[in-house]
Amino acid sequence: MMINGTAIYVLWLREMKRYSRAKSRIFGSLLQPLFFMIFLGLGFKKMPVPGLGAGVDYIQFLVPGILGMTLLFSSAMQGLSVLWDREFGFLKEIMVTPVSRTSIVLGRIAGGTTTTMIQGLLMLAMTLLLGFRIKSALLFLWALIFMGLIAFTFIGIGLIFASRMKDSQGFGIIVNFLLFPLFFLSGALYPLDNLPRWIRVVAFADPLTYGVDGLRGTLIGVSSRPVLVDFIVIAAFAGLMVALGTVFFRSSESI
């Protein structure tokens, strides 16, 4: 079946309304990264950390990593909405409509990406109060692209798990078990060059590694790899995960 733009818009609008009405969700999703930002950023601000780059203090280094953390957890947890919709019968209702499942997936991804990026921008705005400064308005537009690619990647991963699970509590446990290693391996909190070689090798298989490094390159002008390399790799991960998420969702049960 063809992609239905109306269905995508309706599902996107539904997610926007749910998000705008859940004030506690907005507030709660920002608490953890804000705590990391305050206690780590201010606590290590005056300490020398090898590998930060010339003229970069720890807060400047940390903010893109915390932004990546916000996007990571917010994106992956979008899979919970699939489980809630299955539990309350909404998923069954939309599955039997004359709309392709691909359109349903795209609607969910569009809504999840928008809410995730809103949370990321709110987090970024709060860091300005702690002294963070964006290097260039033009490069900030590229940072928005990296934010979107990170969201696509981990929404796709969330859909993969949600399509094969029926228990929301189990989903939370398993996804968190996966997300925390991805977060710590990404170099969000410290330069990867400070880690043992074998851990760095594992870190290169983590899509968030390239997302965080790309955010650093576009927000503060310092990155471990060329920004173009980060863009190509995270874009490839995003395309792969969205494709796999779509395949798994299309073959999932609605009840």
Alpha carbon distances (Å) from 244 to 109, 215, 238, 251? 13, 25, 10, 11
Q: Show the tokens assigned to 165.
A: 């699970």
Task: Considering only residues 147 and 56, tell me which one the structure prediction assigns the higher pLDDT.
Answer: 147
Between residues 58 and 183, the one the model is more confident about = 183
Global pTM reads 0.88
**Residue 68 contacts by C-beta under 8 Å, 6 or more apart in sequence?**
150, 183, 186, 188, 208, 211, 212, 215
Residue 174: pLDDT band with limits 50, 70, 90: confident
pLDDT tens-digit map of 209-229: 999 999 999 998 888 889 999
Write out the two tokens for 47: 């300490």
pLDDT (tens digit, 9 = 90+) per residue, 66-88? 999 889 888 887 777 777 777 76
Q: Which pLDDT score, from 0 to 100, does residue 212 have?
A: 93
Of 61, 4, 28, 35, nearest to 189 (Cα)?
61
